């Protein structure tokens, strides 16, 4: 059995071997950021994302574990694992000459939906996307906006509705190099979407932000393997659908944290003194790290686990983005 039940943790290379040994047979996924390091064998192949780690570390490892035994699950070029409650998987697609990010996103999501259907886990809960030159132009369209078009095409082609009932929590960030890299989590039952009353739902954005809107909910709540889970999508300094505080990283950080606070206030299971909160903070410019870290500590205290990464954000006018996950054990009644 996993030492902490279902959920995730952030680790440095120091101690990772002992951690994986203690959780042998219960590891759903390992995602590495920063400088690759050799890892001991696990039931899944580690996924590496070329995004530098800030704060003095060279490498950060995100590990997902379960309290139930984990089995490998592969299909249509996607490698994954399952504990019977959730399905965890990843896909990496190289961009060849003549291909666009739009076509790559379509291919990736077509494979993901095939993978989910094959294994009987039809409900996406959380998706993470990374690819290089996210803000660059590609045939007259920003690569991130092209990605949104391709994702939308795949949703439609596979009969997936784009609504609160069927859209996952998600994030999309720029990597320094590599391919389109996606990892994701799905379940047999849907989660519950949580939107931010301060913001327009992303899938209702106007065409000002591209031919097709992004497809994600602001947060998603689910009960998995005895844990109340609250997955917070990539969150930034956006009110309504517009970026606010252009060029001011300190004000953007405060606005971002207000948006996260607003989301957390909508889940009855969030108790600041209990449970586990984990955050990934993406900064466009590394000189903002100390200021943002001070604000995050002031908001969440020292108990939160945070990884700081140097990455381009999906909108060129955003200076930072924060995503997170909160886990709290389901209380078992004595009755």
Closest CA to 48 of 31, 65, 26, 70: 31
Average pLDDT, the chain: 94
312: pLDDT strictly greater than 50: yes
3-state SS of 284-302 is: CCHHHHHHHHHHHHHHHCC
Predicted local distance difference test score (pLDDT) of residue 5? 81
- Residue 332: predicted pLDDT: 57
- Model pTM? 0.96
Q: How far apart are CA 2 and CA 5, in angstroms?
A: 5
Strand pairing of 123-132 and 305-310?
unpaired
> Which position among 62, 142, 255, 321 bears the catalytic label?
321
In a domain, 335, yes or no: no
Q: How confident is the model at residue 4 (pLDDT cuts 50, 70, 90)?
A: low
Q: For residue range 188-230, list pLDDT tens digits in order.
A: 999 999 999 999 999 888 887 889 999 999 999 999 988 999 9
Q: Parallel, antiparallel, or unpaired for β 227-235 and 320-329?
A: antiparallel
What confidence score (pLDDT) does residue 70 get? 95
Mean of pLDDT values over 297-301 = 96
The alpha carbons of the chain give a radius of gyration, in whole angstroms, of 19
d(CA 314, CA 40): 34
Number of domains in the chain: 1
Asked if residue 47 is part of any domain, the answer here is: yes
Are residues 81 and 58 in contact, defined by beta-carbon separation less than 8 angstroms?
no
For residue range 37-94, list pLDDT tens digits in order: 988 777 678 999 999 999 989 999 999 999 999 999 999 889 999 999 999 999 999 9
Helix (H), strand (E) at residue 183? strand 180-187
Residue 3 has pLDDT above 60, yes or no: no
Other Cβ atoms less than 10 A from the Cβ of 333: the count is 5
The predicted structure's pLDDT at residue 333: 52
Beta bridge partners of 229: 222, 327
CATH of the domain at 171: 3.30.1330.40
Instruction: Assess if residue 11 is contained within a domain.
Output: yes
The reply to whether 1 falls in a domain is no
For residues 98 and 174, the model is more confident at: 174
Kindly report, residue by residue over 109-152, the tens digit of the pLDDT.
999 999 999 999 999 999 999 999 999 999 999 999 999 999 99
Residues 277 and 303: their CA atoms lie apart, in Å, by 8
Calculate mean pLDDT across residues 99-110.
Answer: 97
Cα–Cα distance list, 27 to 2, 83, 188, 201 (Å): 8, 9, 19, 33
Angstrom distance (rounded) from CA 113 to CA 108: 9
Domain-embedded: residue 265: yes
Would you state the pLDDT for residue 334? 46
**Which residue range(s) make up the domain with 204?**
7-329
In a domain, 218, yes or no: yes
Residue 2 counted as domain residue: no
Average pLDDT value for residue range 12-30: 93
> Residue written as tokens 């574990």?
65
Residue 1 has pLDDT above 70, yes or no: no
Kindly state whether residue 202 falls inside one of the protein's structural domains. Answer: yes
Does residue 321 carry a catalytic annotation? Answer: yes
C-alpha–C-alpha distance, residues 295 and 301, integer Å: 10
- Cα separation, 169 vs 267, whole angstroms: 15
């Amino acid at each position: 059995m996993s030492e902490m039940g279902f959920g995730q943790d952030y680790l440095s290379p120091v101690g990772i071997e002992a951690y994986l040994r203690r959780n042998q047979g219960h590891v759903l996924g390992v995602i590495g950021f920063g400088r690759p390091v050799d890892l001991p064998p696990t039931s899944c192949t580690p996924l590496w994302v070329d995004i530098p780690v800030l704060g003095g570390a060279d490498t950060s490892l995100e590990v997902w574990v379960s309290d139930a035994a984990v089995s490998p699950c592969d299909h249509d070029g996607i490698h994954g694992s399952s504990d019977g409650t959730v399905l965890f998987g990843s896909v990496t697609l190289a961009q060849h000459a003549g291909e666009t990010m739009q076509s790559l996103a379509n291919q990736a999501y077509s494979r993901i939906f095939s993978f989910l259907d094959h294994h009987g886990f039809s409900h996406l809960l959380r998706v993470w996307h990374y690819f290089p030159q996210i803000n660059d132009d590609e045939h007259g369209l920003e690569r991130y906006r092209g990605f949104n078009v391709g994702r939308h095409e795949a949703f439609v082609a596979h009969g997936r509705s784009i609504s609160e009932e069927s859209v996952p929590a998600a994030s999309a960030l720029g990597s320094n190099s590599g391919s389109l890299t996606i990892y994701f989590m799905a379940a047999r039952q849907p989660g519950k979407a949580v939107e931010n009353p301060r913001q327009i739902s992303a899938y209702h954005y106007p065409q000002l932000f591209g031919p097709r809107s992004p497809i994600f909910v602001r947060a998603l709540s689910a009960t998995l393997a005895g844990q109340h889970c609250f997955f917070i999508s990539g969150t930034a300094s956006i009110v309504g659908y517009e970026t606010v505080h252009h060029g001011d990283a300190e004000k953007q950080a405060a606005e971002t944290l207000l948006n996260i606070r607003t989301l957390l206030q909508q889940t009855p299971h969030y108790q600041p003194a209990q449970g586990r909160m984990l955050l990934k903070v993406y900064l466009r410019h590394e000189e903002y790290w100390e200021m943002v870290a001070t604000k995050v500590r002031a908001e969440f205290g020292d108990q939160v686990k945070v990884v700081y990464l140097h990455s381009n954000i999906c909108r060129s006018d955003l200076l930072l983005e924060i995503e997170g996950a909160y886990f709290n054990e389901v209380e078992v009644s004595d009755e």
